Structure formats: structure tokens, C-alpha cells
Amino acid sequence: MAKISKIEAKERIGFLRRELERHNHNYYVLNSPTISDFEFDLLMGELQGLEKMFPDLVSADSPTMHVGSDIVAGFEQVAHRYPMLSLGNSYSIGEMEEFDARIAKAVSSPYSFSCELKFDGTAICLTYRGGSLVRALTRGDGAKGDDVTRNVVNIPSIPKHLKGSGYPGEFEIRGEIYMPFEAFERNSAERIENGDEPFANPRNAASGSLKLQNPEEMKSRGLDCVLYHILGENLPFRSHAEAIAAAASWGLPVSEYSRKAGSIGEAVQYIEYWDSKRHDLPFATDGIVIKVDELDLQRRLGMTAKSPRWATAYKFRPEQALTQLISIDYQVGRTGAITPVANLDPVPLSGTTVKRASLHNRDQMDLLDIHIGDYVYVEKGGEIIPKITGVELSRRPDDAGPAVFPTVCPDCGTPLVRDESQAKHYCPGISTCPTQIKGRLIHFTTRKAMDIHAGEATVEALYEKGFLKDLPDFYSLTKEQLMTLDGWQDKSCDNLLESIRQSLEVPFGRVLYALGIRHIGQANASMLASHFGNIDNLMSASRDELLQIDEIGDVMADSLIDYFRSEKGREIVSALKAVGLKMSTEGTEKVRISDRLEGSTIVISGNFSISREEMKALVEAHGGRNSGSVSGKTTYLLAGEKAGGEKLRKAEKLGVRVITEDDFYKIVEE
């Protein structure tokens, strides 16, 4: 570190502390980080160096002395029985060897290491008493955490009751709640479809989902869990590996990828293997955790104020590529949101060729000071979504001009408005913007909405011909109109018209979702339909009445008010009521056909001869329970065409029976 005066150091320390606290808040509370873990660790390392150089400037409230806090309103805070600390980070093999040298200096007896993948999720602490789960706490500020038990019990892989015997009367087990890539991609696609900002990465998605106020909505997010550290009084284990093996025998989810290393050399081999193979995993991992395996040595090595001395994390550097920005497209979403997308000179990154990357919004563009023609650094957020993280100013061409965010809709020319709550710009031309109209028509036809059998190309062709101008027009389509489409014959026309007739039976919750109201997803629509009972009650609800519902916040309440108070929104609802769509929950009680699946838990994956929602309804009609992820409690994995590979692999590993659609019908008809 360059020579620095005490006055300069004091000023720099103050700046670094403010920056780190701000980034901690973005990361833990808002679940919306603005810098990478590597950049954060560089700032933290600089602060630690300055505090070491000027020890009289160290203070108890410095970020170097405590972990970031994820405490949020809406949950009870409970003190941790044992402090929940964070791990020290390293980015080089040399630092790992230094970690080993410190241990060798502190202890005289032989030792080994436990090597584990560092799951990129959100920390959790579970307490079991008498074999039953009694409490689940987040890390919080390390001393206390949020009680999220009501949400955690809805994660299928976490058992409410332990199996087998030999477990302590009371103990804690800590781990990570994470979102597998398959669930992350599904949830992100749904958010984009609903006009919401996509999740930044699986870690933020997991953390945000765990803190949802509605446990049922959280349940649909597909969270999973891995546990890796047991705490309690007089535990009968000599090593960490022995304790984790016992946890697995009690039905607790532990990692299958952990390995024991007899030396730091073997631990380095484990690190190097997973640094190259991590992209093959079905979940995000950002490093490797190395722990002294012998528990008596862990106790002797002890803790610092912030982290254990017997464990450290080797963090993988994010893969990064430098390439040139060719141009920026400004895409108009179904709800009018404008998203800038960078077109790049194709570059290989993390096993794929990246040609495009999201710039998110104008604020991000301004922060980067991005110019057309710039050479930009591209990373994959959570190893999935390409994002631009910086500009190489030394290579900026002389003729590079600043990127200019549009002031009018690139599709219809309507002046844009800014949604301050999301830092997003929107086109307000709900009834005049062709892209929004077509997006709304396509959304209306989807399986989770009205399940009308018309693809995007068909909807666009009908729009271009003037046969579809808005949602009610589906119910006035004629066979003569459809026959004007290229390649359409009697059968294809009849199939589409029949699906339109069948859509008249779609329940109110799905009709409400099909309207495409900004920020209102499927779960919210179903909840609103159940709460208000019919469309008239919902349309006349005041903002205060909407906000009294736990799951509805300011953004959703304002969106509902704007839609139902607008002339266009009321016009669409009136026309859809007139053609006979269900606008009430009356008469929609669940049908019970049999008890054939009573006590069975079924996971559905892939495509079937009927919609997935209809298949789920059939499971419930025969007494079964639907689940989003495969676990030891799953009875059947019902696999259709293009079933998820990860679910099939997990079912095989756990010995869960995989059945086809035909098998399912045979079971319920026995």
C-alpha cells in the first residue's frame, strides 16, 4: 500500500466504510448488488490494510468488525444462540497456503481438511428439538436474525421431522438456501413477462424469495437447501465429516460434492478441479470452503470478531471478457418497460458465445458512462445472464459518442415516463403502442392464462391483418378470417376456434392474470380473485383496501388502480364480461374425483397432452399434493416431453419413481 498520511487515511477510511455499508445494504437487504463480490472484497481489503496501518482509527462499528445484515421489516428478530459469522475470503492459492501455515503454527497435532462447494445462496440456521424443526433464522447481523420459519417449512428438501434415531435432543444446523438454475430461469422469465425487473442472479433470487411475506408465493419459487455445519451442546462427533454424515442419515440435505483432503495440496487439487467444472453444476457456486475437519482443533483455533480461524473461502474470480459495443437496442416489453440491450462483437464466455448483454436501465448506462464503440467488460451474473460491468477507457475510440437513452417510445413515438420505484422508463401508450398490444395479445393466449392455441406468429399475423386489435377480439374471430392466413386449413382453424370456446371455462384467477396488468403475476392474480370474489369488487377497491392485503405492496396497488380506473382497462373488462369469461369465483370449488393419490407428493416436469395447470388440478382432484422440486418426500416425478434433466437426475439419485402421463392415468383409474 502506498505511503499515506494519517489525515488522508482517516478520510479514505471514512469513505470506504460508507461505501461498504451501502453495498452491504444493497446486497443483504435490497438483494440488488451494484458491484461484484470481487470488487467488494477489494474495497474491504483496502480498509483492512488501512486499519492495520493506523490501529487508532479502528472503531467497533467498522464493516471489518461485523458481518453485513439482512434484517428486514415484517419478520420477528430472534437472537442467535451461537454467533453466525462470515468466512474470510481469498483469491489465490498462495493465500490458501498461508491459511495452512497459520494452522500448522497454532497446533502441533496432525489435521486434515473438509473441502466443500460454496453454494451461492442465503445463509440459514435451523433448530431441531426432539427431532422436529422448531425455528429457522437468517444470518441477520450475526447476533440476531429474522425468523423465517413460516417460509422455510415450505421448502420440500428441509424435513419438518427427522428420520431414524441417534440425533441430539436439540441442535442447530446451518447451511444455505439457494435457487437452482432451472428455477432461476423460470422465475426470471415470469418476472420479465409480468414487466418486472429480472433477478440479478440466483443468490439474490433466493434471498428475496425467502423474505416474501406470502409463504405460498415463496413456495412457488422452487428454493432448495444444503446444510453444512452442526452446533450444539456435547455433540458426539469427532470430526466435521462424521457430523455431516450423521445429518444425512437423519434426512437432512447435505452436499454430495464434499471431499476430505489430507493436506493443503489435496485441497488445492479440489479447488482446481471445480474451478473448471463449476459450469456443469445445476446451481450457482462462487467458490470453495476449506475447513479443518477435526472438531477439537476447531475449538482450539477459535474465532476472530468476524470469522472462524479454522475455515476460509477460496473465491472463484468471475469470468470476464473484453469486447466492443457495436450498438444498443431499446426493447419495448409487454407492459411498456424500455430495456436497453447492448449488441456486442461476439465473444466466448463461460462456455457460450455472448452477442448481447442487458444494460438494465438508463441509470446503469449513466453509471458506466457508456459510449457506442467502447470496449466493455462482460461477465455472466450468477454464471447465467451476461452483463456489462465496466468500460476500458484506454481503448475508447476517438469517434465514440455517448449512448443516448430515448425520450420517446422507439415503437410508437409516445413520450416515455419514468417509474421511480424501479428506475425504469415506460411507454404509457397502452392502447396505441403496437409492441405492447401484440405482447398483451400473446400473453393472453399462454397456458397459464387463457390457453388459446395460437402461437406468437399467428397472433402477429392476425394483428397485422387487423383481425386482432385487443383482447376481446379473440372472441369474434371467424373461420373465414383464419383461412386467410398462409397455410391454414379447416383443421387448424377448427382447433384454434375450439380452444377459444374452451377458454370461456378458465377460472377467474387465470382470467385476471391474462389481462396482463403490470406487476401482477399468476400467484398475485389467484390471491386477488380469491380475496375479492369477483371483478366488480376488485375494480371498486380503494388503494387502502388493496394495501390491507399482506401480499400487495404500493407498486402493485398503484398498478391495479391505474388499470381499473383507466378508460381502456374498464372497456376491456366490460367487453370480456360480455362474451362470457368468468369474472367471479362463484361455483369454482375444487372437484374431488377420488382419494387415489391421498398422501402422495407429485412433481410435474415437461409438456403433456393437457396444460400443466390442468395436470396439477388433476393431481389435486385425486387427493395428491403438487410440489415444485424433487426431494426424498416425493412420491412420483410425473415426466412429460422435455422434462427437466436435473429433476430426472435427482429422482434417480433419490430412488423416486418416474412415471409418464399414461402411467399417471393408470394409477388414478385403478
- Residues 471-482 have a mean pLDDT of 95
Q: Is the pLDDT of residue 265 over 70?
A: yes
Q: Is the pLDDT of residue 450 over 60?
A: yes
- For residue 203, the model assigns a pLDDT of 86
Q: Is the pLDDT of residue 665 over 90?
A: no
pLDDT-derived band of residue 116, with 50, 70 and 90 as boundaries?
Answer: very high
- For residue 62, the model assigns a pLDDT of 77
Asked whether residue 482 is domain-assigned, the answer is: yes
Domain final residue pick, 352, 374, 397: 397
Both 159 and 269 in a single domain? yes
Round the average pLDDT of the chain to a whole number and report it: 86
The count of structural domains within the chain is: 5
Q: Give the highest mean pLDDT range of 356-370, 449-463, 514-528.
A: 449-463
Q: Could you tell me whether strands 401-402 and 601-605 are parallel, antiparallel, or unpaired per DSSP bridges?
A: unpaired
- CATH code of 214's domain: 3.30.470.30
Residue 142 or 158, more confident: 158
Both 303 and 444 in a single domain? no
Cell numbers 374425483 label which residue?
A: 593
pLDDT-derived band of residue 35, with 50, 70 and 90 as boundaries?
Answer: low
Contact 624, 618 (CB under 8 A): no
Q: List the domain range (segments joined by +) for residue 625.
A: 601-669
- For residue 231, the model assigns a pLDDT of 94
Percent of the chain with pLDDT over 90: 45
Both 222 and 97 in a single domain? yes
Q: Which of 218, 197, 216, 145 lies closest to 32 in space, CA to CA? A: 197
Both 646 and 531 in a single domain? no
- Residues 279-301 have a mean pLDDT of 92
Helix (H) or strand (E) holding 175: strand 170-178
Domain final residue pick, 315, 344, 366: 315
Both 456 and 537 in a single domain? yes
Both 386 and 484 in a single domain? no
Q: What count of other Cβ atoms lies within 10 Å of the Cβ of residue 548?
A: 12
Q: Is the pLDDT of residue 197 over 80?
A: no
Asked whether residue 45 is domain-assigned, the answer is: yes
- For residue 518, the model assigns a pLDDT of 84
Q: Is the pLDDT of residue 550 over 60?
A: no
Both 481 and 520 in a single domain? yes
- For residue 55, the model assigns a pLDDT of 79
Tell me the three cell numbers of residue 264: 493443503
Asked whether residue 460 is domain-assigned, the answer is: yes
- For residue 574, the model assigns a pLDDT of 95
Both 14 and 106 in a single domain? no
Distance CA 419, CA 430 (A): 15
- For residue 31, the model assigns a pLDDT of 53
Asked whether residue 522 is domain-assigned, the answer is: yes
pLDDT-derived band of residue 422, with 50, 70 and 90 as boundaries?
Answer: low
Both 555 and 625 in a single domain? no
Q: Is the pLDDT of residue 446 over 80?
A: yes
Phi and psi torsions of 68, nearest 5° = -65, 150
Q: Is the pLDDT of residue 508 over 80?
A: yes
Contact 504, 518 (CB under 8 A): no
Distance CA 221, CA 195 (A): 17
pLDDT-derived band of residue 326, with 50, 70 and 90 as boundaries?
Answer: very high
Phi and psi torsions of 486, nearest 5° = -60, 125
- CATH code of 381's domain: 2.40.50.140
pLDDT-derived band of residue 32, with 50, 70 and 90 as boundaries?
Answer: low
Both 449 and 513 in a single domain? yes
- For residue 421, the model assigns a pLDDT of 64
Distance CA 178, CA 282 (A): 11
pLDDT-derived band of residue 13, with 50, 70 and 90 as boundaries?
Answer: confident
Both 223 and 362 in a single domain? no
Domain final residue pick, 283, 315, 347: 315
Residue 75 or 405, more confident: 405
- CATH code of 571's domain: 1.10.150.20
- Residues 436-460 have a mean pLDDT of 91
Determine the Cα angle at 53 with ends 51 and 55, to 5°.
55
Which residue type sits at 290?
I
Q: Is the pLDDT of residue 1 over 60?
A: no
Question: 58: which residues sit within 8 A by CB, 6+ positions away?
Answer: 51, 64, 65
- For residue 612, the model assigns a pLDDT of 67
Q: Is the pLDDT of residue 159 over 80?
A: yes
The secondary structure of residue 450, as a DSSP letter, is: T
- Residues 286-298 have a mean pLDDT of 94
SS3 403: coil
Distance CA 176, CA 119 (A): 7
- For residue 341, the model assigns a pLDDT of 92
- Residues 547-574 have a mean pLDDT of 86
Asked whether residue 588 is domain-assigned, the answer is: no
- Residues 270-277 have a mean pLDDT of 92
Q: What is the pLDDT of residues 74-113, one digit of tens each?
A: 578 889 998 888 888 887 899 999 999 999 999 989 999 9
Tell me the three cell numbers of residue 571: 372497456
Q: Which residues are catalytic?
A: 118
Q: What is the pLDDT of residues 169-182, one digit of tens each?
A: 999 999 999 999 88
Asked whether residue 595 is domain-assigned, the answer is: no
Asked whether residue 413 is domain-assigned, the answer is: no
Both 196 and 301 in a single domain? yes
Distance CA 549, CA 545 (A): 7
Q: What is the pLDDT of residues 202-220, one digit of tens each?
A: 888 888 888 877 777 788 8
Q: What is the dihedral of CA 349, 352, 354, 355, to 10 degrees?
A: 150
Asked whether residue 404 is domain-assigned, the answer is: no
Residue 94: burial class (beta carbons within 10 Å; 0-12, 13-18, 19+): exposed
- For residue 126, the model assigns a pLDDT of 96
Q: Is the pLDDT of residue 629 over 90?
A: no
Q: What is the pLDDT of residues 350-402, one digit of tens each?
A: 767 889 988 888 888 888 899 999 999 998 755 456 888 889 999 999 999 99
- CATH code of 629's domain: 3.40.50.10190
Distance CA 584, CA 469 (A): 25
- CATH code of 22's domain: 1.10.287.610
